[in-house]
């Protein structure tokens, strides 16, 4: 049986006297498309931070792409995250006044790759998300949906096996949100594991699997 891309066993996270996650067991198979859904304050963000190795659990085990994260140094965790996970957030975090091509290419700025390679890879990523005709447009010249697609192009640069999207349609109207969701489905169909963190039950209901979290419990 293929090893899952993410496996959490008995994961808890405490901040002082507050327990944000309680003994979470979660297994995500390679190639899955799923939602982690719950209301505000349910523990979604904490789960995202732990699963994405942005924070470490207080107790329990996280395995990412076959590696026991708790056994790794901070430097090794950063390297694992960089090659394994692409992040997409509700806020697009695009530099104003910078062409889309350069925004995406800057995602490889610290990779040691030459500028020509970075720009070529960025162009391929933008064409992958349907923005080949917007390469030179700056963020303020793009619609909200297009800005989110630029953010997704930046996240899939380097073809990470896992894409984590935190409320990716939260700042979009329904039409633009639908385009972004269709794109995430296409990426999954191409082999990327896609985890969407959302409070929107309609989005969760439309996906093959929904993991519900409330009061820090799955």
3-class secondary-structure state, position 13: strand
Task: Report the relative pairing of strands 59-64 and 6-15 from DSSP bridges.
Answer: antiparallel
Would you list the domain boundaries of the chain? 6-212
- Of the chain, the end-to-end C-alpha distance in Å amounts to 24
CATH architecture of 6-212: 3-Layer(aba) Sandwich (3.40)
d(CA 117, CA 71) in angstroms, rounded, equals 34
What tens-digit pLDDT sequence spans the chain (218 residues)?
689 999 999 999 999 999 999 999 999 999 999 999 999 889 999 999 999 999 999 999 999 999 999 999 999 999 999 999 999 988 888 988 999 999 999 988 777 788 899 999 999 999 999 999 999 999 899 999 999 999 999 999 888 999 999 999 988 999 999 999 999 999 999 999 999 999 999 999 999 999 999 999 99
pLDDT at 107: 84
d(CA 149, CA 114) in angstroms, rounded, equals 24
pTM score: 0.92
Closest by Cα among 72, 55, 46, 86 to 217: 46
Are 71 and 64 spatial neighbours (Cβ–Cβ below 8 Å)? no
Closest by Cα among 180, 23, 14 to 88: 180
pLDDT at 112: 77
pLDDT at 108: 84
pLDDT at 196: 97
């Amino acid at each position: 049986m293929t090893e899952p891309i993410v496996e959490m066993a008995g994961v808890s996270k405490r901040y002082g006297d507050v327990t944000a996650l309680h003994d979470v067991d979660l297994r995500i198979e390679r190639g899955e498309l799923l939602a982690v859904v719950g209301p505000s304050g349910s523990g979604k963000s904490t789960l995202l931070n732990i699963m994405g190795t942005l924070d470490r659990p207080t107790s329990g085990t996280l395995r990412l792409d076959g590696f026991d994260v708790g056994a790794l140094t901070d430097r090794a965790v950063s390297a694992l995250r960089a090659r394994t996970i692409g992040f997409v957030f509700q806020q697009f975090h695009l530099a104003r006044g910078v062409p889309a091509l350069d925004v995406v290419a800057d995602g490889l700025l610290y990779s040691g790759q030459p500028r020509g390679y970075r720009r070529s890879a960025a162009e391929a990523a933008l064409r992958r998300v349907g923005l080949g005709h917007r390469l030179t447009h700056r963020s303020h010249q793009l619609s909200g949906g297009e800005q989110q697609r630029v953010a997704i192009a930046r996240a899939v640069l380097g073809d990470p096996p896992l894409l984590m999207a935190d409320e990716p349609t939260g700042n979009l109207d329904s039409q633009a949100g639908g385009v972004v969701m269709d794109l995430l489905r296409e990426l999954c169909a191409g082999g990327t594991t896609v985890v969407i963190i959302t409070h929107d039950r309609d989005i969760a209901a439309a996906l093959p699997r929904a993991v519900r979290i409330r009061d820090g419990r799955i």
